[in-house]
Chains A and B, each alone.
Chain A
Amino acid sequence: MWESFLEFCSWFFVTGDPLIYGAMVSIALTMVAIVFVLTKYKKWGWLWREWLTTVDHKKIGIMYLIASLLMLFRGGVDAILMRVQLAFPNLEFLHSDHYNAIFTTHGTIMILFMAMPMMFGLFNMVVPLQLGARDVAFPFLNAVSFWLFMFGAMLFNLSFVIGGSPDAGWLSYPPLSQNEFSPGPGQNFWIWGIQISGIGSLATGINFIVTILKMRAPGMKLMKMPMFSWSVFSSCIMIILAFPILTVTIALLYLDRFAGAHFFTMDGGGNPMMYLNLIWMWGHPEVYIVVVPAFGIFSEVVATFAKKKLFGYKSMVAAVMGIAILSFFTWAHHFFTMGTSASVIAFFAITTMLIAIPTGVKVFNWLFTMYRGKISFKQPMMWTIAFIPCFVVGGATGVMLSVAPADYQYHNSYFLIAHFHQVLIGGVVFGYLAGIYYWWPKLFGFKLDEKLGAWGFWLWNIGFYVCFMPQYALGFMGMTRRYYTYGWDYGWESLNLVSTVGAFLMGAGFVFQVWQILYSIKHGERDTTGDPWNGRTLEWSIPSPAPFYNFAVVPQVKETDDFWRVKEEKANGTYKEEPVHLEPIHMPKNSGLPFIMSVFWFIAGFGFVWEWVWMAAIGMIGVFLTMWARSFQYDTDYYVPVDEVRRTEASLGRVY
């Protein structure tokens, strides 16, 4: 009995690697510590009432943010481990299998479990406030989205201590990802972690589209909507059109693995290339899904810190909406070298080049907004200014890659690695960091410390160029991605060492940022006005942190940057005070169902991963029952009485 138990454990848990034993111990200790603290301070009820059951978009946004920073940490550790392994030739820090697992989880986590939730966090934190709305269109669904993401991410991350990490690359191309070459549950963890969180992403896409179309404050016509909300709209359109493709593609891959189907197999009429075709139909829009909101953030930040209206608002709207459509017509450029007809390659090369045009338009708009503005160099603006040259270079190397004959040289080389890190770090990460610094005071009521932030900023930026510029050269020198080691005779050692140093610099930048957050919780400059940056849009018209119902009175909008108009009119005395009439506010009730439903999804996912049909069945029945229960709930909302609104506002220093 004991023997077979031990045998089960050694099969169930990942064994044999000291790094992973270390991780297991630290995970166990962290869990014990969390349980201990919650129990000691009697915080379980608080956790359940205030966070696990919340449907408040701001709290959900904060939870997304915390989760994404944790994932950034894990993905970053993966990156550092890889860079250490590659620092010197013939190093034996990681063996090849472990290296494969790490580059797979690094890529998957950074895109799907770091960039996506950080983006959703920003959507949640900002969009309803910017639109003058009290919540998103479907608050309950919003909570479902978050918990699906969270449990999907947990399922994925579990793989490295239980069952083994996936190791077939971040997009898991078959035939490598098929049973034959990737036996065991690792690949299934990849499929189900993404599948579960992907359903959540899809729901968020629907939710924010309806929010933007239907919940804007009276008077805010679409063409008066702040730029960030436009970029969210564009991103959500891509989400609803692209994510179903991902759902189908990885479901088919799972059917190949689980049911012996022949979609992407080498035999039985399957075709691995069909997988590439499908996954990139999602994958290419996906990179625009994460980068377009960053463009929106830069637009807000540039206008605020240059104290000027955004230059070329209409062309900016056209550019982000154009990208939403164009991004669906470039997917084949990811597999030019796979072999298809010349006309296909020519078509996709041209569409890829075309997509650089709207992006170029935006860069000029930002530059012209800054032109002759009185720029104040606060943290959000620093990241924005750092972004522009970085993204321009990243975009230019992208155009180089789009030239199909040249792509045969660059394909899968470190040139490509450098390119996409430059657009994803320089564009997405810099953008989201700018956004987090910008809207942090609105969510938490204090600013993040400038000095520690400057350390973080410079370490990140210098580290970035030190890390990735050598990789362009390494690509030209013939180094291809996913090599776990190389010999002295290749001549790659010095550039690789430099690159590793850069990775550590970026890691140090991240440490400074964590320090900055912890320091600022106590010592950060408090925001008492609700408008710490002299902002232009509606979110700055309410107190910081925003009350749970956001707006005591729904604002009447007349212009783009309406809050700026109000401030100007007040300054020159033309502002007409309108009589304020408080009314009861309609709010959704908290619910535990999203959490419970996601737990069942997790159970089902775990069952699917191990191909334990009984467990998957239990989970799916649970999911079904929670949905059934929700359908029978009619008492889902309530009204906040006027007195309570008045009291809350008074406590925030606003008298009605």
Chain B
Amino acid sequence: MANHGNHSSHAESHGSLKSYVIGFILSIVLTVIPLVLVMNPLFSKTATYITIMIMAILQFVVQLFFFMHIREGEKPRWNVQTLILGLFIVLTIIGGSIWIMAFNV
């Protein structure tokens, strides 16, 4: 039954109601801020671009930690490592395309 016990304790670590609610509230806040910034321009265009991108990235982080429980699971965390590698390549694809194509548009 040892296996059994292990499993339920493992299951409980999958976040609590509290962490989900915090995550949800943070997401809403991080959605409302850029919305307000775009509707009522407070900063310059570039500053707004940067701010709303940062908000999006923060929200991604919130989802990862509060909803997708990226901190949990057995080590080594291959899923996290693959994700980091994948995001690195995504940035390369987007950044590289823009850089290369900037000359040709």
Contacts and interface: CB of A to CB of B under 8 A. Distances in A.
Direct contact of A and B (CB under 8 A): yes
Interface of A: 209, 213, 237, 240-241, 245, 271, 273-274, 277-278, 281, 325, 328-329, 331-332, 338-341, 344
Mostly, the B contact residues are helix
Mostly, the A contact residues are helix
A341 B103 contact: yes
A340 B85 contact: no
Given A213-B78, A237-B85, A328 B101 contact: no
12 contacts: A237-B85, A240-B86, A245-B93, A271-B101, A271-B104, A281-B93, A325-B85, A329-B92, A338-B104, A339-B104, A344-B100, A344-B103
A245 B92 CA distance: 12
A585 to B, nearest CB: 20
B3 to A, nearest CB: 16
A277 B92 CA distance: 12
B62 to A, nearest CB: 25
Contacts of A277: 96-97, 100-101
A273 B104 CA distance: 8
A274 B99 CA distance: 12
A241 B85 contact: yes
A541 B16 CA distance: 49
A274 B100 CA distance: 9
A274 B97 contact: yes
B42 interface: no
Contact of A241 (B78, B86, B97, B102): B86
B31 to A, nearest CB: 27
B91 to A, nearest CB: 11
Given A277-B101, A281-B93, A344-B99, 20 more contacts: A240-B82, A240-B86, A271-B101, A271-B104, A273-B101, A273-B104, A277-B96, A278-B97, A325-B85, A328-B89, A328-B92, A329-B92, A331-B96, A332-B100, A338-B104, A339-B103, A339-B104, A340-B100, A341-B102, A341-B103
A245 B93 CA distance: 9
Nearest to A241: B89
Interface of B: 78, 82, 85-86, 89, 92-93, 96-97, 99-105
Nearest to A348: B100
A209 B105 CA distance: 39
A277 B95 CA distance: 12
Contacts of B97: 274, 277-278
Contacts of A332: 96, 100
A335 to B, nearest CB: 9
Contacts of A245: 93
A274 B86 contact: no
A220 to B, nearest CB: 15
B57 to A, nearest CB: 21
A70 B101 CA distance: 40
Contact of A271 (B82, B85, B105): B105
Nearest to A335: B100
A12 B25 CA distance: 60
A344 B101 CA distance: 10
Contacts of A339: 103-104
Contacts of A340: 100, 103-104
Contacts of B85: 237, 241, 325
Contacts of B82: 209, 240
Contacts of B99: 344
Nearest to B93: A281
A542 to B, nearest CB: 28
Contacts of A338: 104
A332 B96 CA distance: 9
Contacts of B104: 271, 273, 338-340
Contacts of A329: 92
Nearest to A285: B89
Contacts of A325: 85
B89 to A, nearest CB: 5
Nearest to B86: A241
A585 B16 CA distance: 38
A213 B99 CA distance: 35
Contacts of B103: 339-341, 344
